């Protein structure tokens, strides 16, 4: 389980964010520049974009979940 402070560090890390942006841009470009028969290319790009979204969701959930736990304790 990832902790809130770990998630915050990753989401604040410029290199980590630059990698995310680079991968997202690359995968979006595959959509934009694919031909109508490039189904596999689009499916792979879609899968990678979904994976990136899920990573971000996991990190944001770690932060939110800890915030809720902290509020319940008070």
d(CA 61, CA 69): 12
Mean pLDDT of 60-66: 96
Q: What is the pLDDT of residues 21-59, one digit of tens each?
A: 999 999 999 989 999 999 999 999 999 999 999 999 999
Spatial CA neighbour of 66 closest among 13, 1, 3: 3
pTM value is 0.86
d(Cα 37, Cα 39) in Å, to the nearest integer? 6
Nearest to 66 by CA among 2, 21, 15, 4: 4
* CA R_g for the chain: 16
Domain ranges of the chain: 4-73
């Amino acid at each position: 389980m990832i902790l809130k402070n770990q998630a915050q560090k990753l989401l604040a890390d410029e290199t980590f964010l630059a990698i995310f942006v680079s991968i997202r841009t690359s995968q979006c470009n595959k959509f934009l520049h694919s031909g109508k028969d490039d189904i596999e290319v689009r499916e792979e790009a879609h899968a990678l974009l979904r994976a990136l979204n899920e990573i971000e969701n996991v990190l944001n959930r770690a932060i939110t979940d800890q915030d809720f736990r902290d509020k319940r304790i008070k």
